[in-house]
Amino acid sequence: MNGLSRRRLIGAGLAATGTALVTGGSAGPHRRPATVPAASTDPVAAPATSPPPAPSPTATALPAQERPVFTLSEYRRLVPGPAFPGNAVALTIDDGPHPTWTPKVLRLLERYHVPALFCLIGNQVLGHETVARDIVAAGHQVANHTWSHPGKIAHLAQDRVQQEIDRAQNKIYDATGKLPAIFRSPGGAVSPAVFAAAAQARMLPINWTNDPRDWTRPGTRSITDRLLAARPGQILLCHDGGGDRAQTCAALETVIPALQSRGYQFVVLS
């Protein structure tokens, strides 16, 4: 793919990593059914044969959070770095990679020079490794969205959650050479076990601020209107997997240039 260069895309956002975490009350996450088609439906098994590198022995383990990140300002309080621009928004894309819809989204982002965070499902990377590599080659960020997108992840024991996270982490790293530092739980569902497993994998859990519910296919107009209600500092949620995403692509064709015309700047998180 003739992707935008990594330096150009990442230059459109602000890069930062860190380990300071905040605690606080829980916010009720939006939950959705696990409708994502699986490239592999076998139970969570042994990690991939090429595991990601272990953290440095001197690295500080992340403490478990008590709530995910919902906004850019919350992210910056946890991850030290320059302040995000006052007109910044972050676009996140869940449930891929998909051989049809992900390339369409990538071409759209390239056209408007927009960086994004792609939250990848491990068993969707399986069989679609080239698409996953295209995401990284175009300069976008990747996050861990579990191995099989379990809809009831908040009810699973920590060891099962850990398997979901670790197997996805291994596959994403094996396919792309990138080790995600961000975790998004399926449906935004959280529990002490989910937070503990994410912390064990040294990832920061994030949710979102603006959810157009595009996965329900409510119509292009509905998705467009909800995304156009975005405000600076928000994290926007869309999908490139889990079903027909023609409505999402059509909505983004309108939304991205419209938000840019307002002076909004699309940024990446880290």
Task: Give me the catalytic one of 145, 239, 240, 244.
Answer: 239
**Can 166 be counted among the known catalytic residues?**
no
Structural Rg of the chain based on CA atoms: 17
Token output for 60? 């500080």
**Can 240 be counted among the known catalytic residues?**
no
CA-to-CA distance for 256 and 61, rounded, in angstroms? Answer: 37
In the block, tokens 């739980």 appear at 185
Q: Catalytic residues, which ones? A: 94, 239
